[in-house]
Amino acid sequence: MLVSAKEMLIKARDGKYAIGHFNINNLEWAKAVLLTAKENNSPVILGVSEGAGKYMGGYKTIVGMVKGLIEELNIDVPVAIHLDHGSYDGALKTIEAGFSSVMFDGSHYAIEENIEKTKEIIRIAGERGISVEAEVGSIGGEEDGVIGAGEVADPAECKRIADLGVDMLAAGIGNIHGKYPANWKGLDFEALAAIKEVTVNVPLVLHGGTGIPEDMIKKAISLGVAKINVNTECQLAFAAATRKYIEAGKDLESKGFDPRKLLAPGFEAIKATVKEKMELFGSVNKA
Ligand code: 13P
């Protein structure tokens, strides 16, 4: 069932586990994540970036696809369709298109502007029962070959945004999108604990879930993280499985070129990755 992320995150926060947010790219991705959630009786968040939204033919296309899959595959666990790192306009468009959850990422604005815009999105989304994620302190990552260290959020700024009534808060604690460099210093747990202390009950979000060691994931959950975003890891698993199929020459055998066969190993690899994460995050049987 399509729901806002609010309730599943409150339960996760109280139960000391995290809900996986898995970015989707196409039908195979959406179907793989939804079926894995059903098989593991886990709530799930489907993340859609603005770029992925454009790629898939627009936000309404995605809402139609996900709603159709939920109904036809009888996905009886809570599912949220969530805009990932949305701009102000992107948040408005996805609210209009029927997303059940949005992230407004105002972390690149000065704090006052981030507050004003986040407040407005909370008001508009709130009228429709749509959950809102905000961000303070940018999340690092690779851009044009330059790897930026994740910025660590200021707890006082986190409190100001949390107090606006956001349903979840992404705060930079040294996390990075994509693969972590060999010299990565790890998550800043002191910062996380300080942020948790002042934001009290707001479920915290950990972006850049790919490649964070298991013990750090568990510690982050114990310190208040209730949503973990994973994107690159599913892409790597999909690409490796597809490569293996093609390198083995399977696309050249019989009807191996049929997309239903060609994309099957990648599809199964996404499912295996999502299952592994759900087990690690502790969301299995929490639907
Ligand atoms: P990764 O690609 O590092 O898993 O990060 C995903 C993410 O944070 C999406 O918002």
The domain that holds 153 is classified in CATH as 3.20.20.70
Q: What is the pLDDT of residues 65-89, one digit of tens each?
A: 999 999 999 999 999 999 999 999 9
For the CA of 176, the nearest atom of ligand 1: 3
Q: What is the pLDDT of residues 227-254, one digit of tens each?
A: 999 999 999 999 999 999 999 999 999 9
pLDDT band at 137 (very low <50, low <70, confident <90, very high): confident
Residue 145 confidence (pLDDT) above 70? no
Which listed residue (84, 163, 215, 258) is catalytic?
84
Residue 151 confidence (pLDDT) above 90? no
Q: Which domain holds residue 72?
A: 6-233
Active site residue 89: no
For the CA of 209, the nearest atom of ligand 1: 4
DSSP class per residue in 108-156: TS-HHHHHHHHHHHHHHHHTTT-EEEEEES--EEEETTEEEPPPBPPHH
**Token pair of 102, please?**
């949005």
Q: Would 287 be classed as within a structural domain?
A: no
Task: Report whether residue 277 contacts ligand 1, using a CB cutoff of 6 Å.
Answer: no
Ligand 1 centre distance from Cα of residue 258 (Å): 31
**pLDDT above 70 coverage of the chain, percent:** 97
- Is residue 149 within 8 A of residue 141, CB to CB? The reply is no
Residue 28 confidence (pLDDT) above 80? yes
How many folded domains does the chain comprise? Answer: 1
**Token pair of 165, please?**
């009534």
Residue 148 confidence (pLDDT) above 70? no
Q: Would 282 be classed as within a structural domain?
A: no
Q: Would 149 be classed as within a structural domain?
A: yes
Ligand 1 centre distance from Cα of residue 230 (Å): 5
Predicted TM-score (pTM) of the model is 0.96
Ligand 1 centre distance from Cα of residue 176 (Å): 8
- Is residue 83 within 8 A of residue 102, CB to CB? The reply is yes
Among 6, 12, 1, 28, which residue's Cα sits nearest to residue 264? 28
Task: Report whether residue 203 contacts ligand 1, using a CB cutoff of 6 Å.
Answer: no
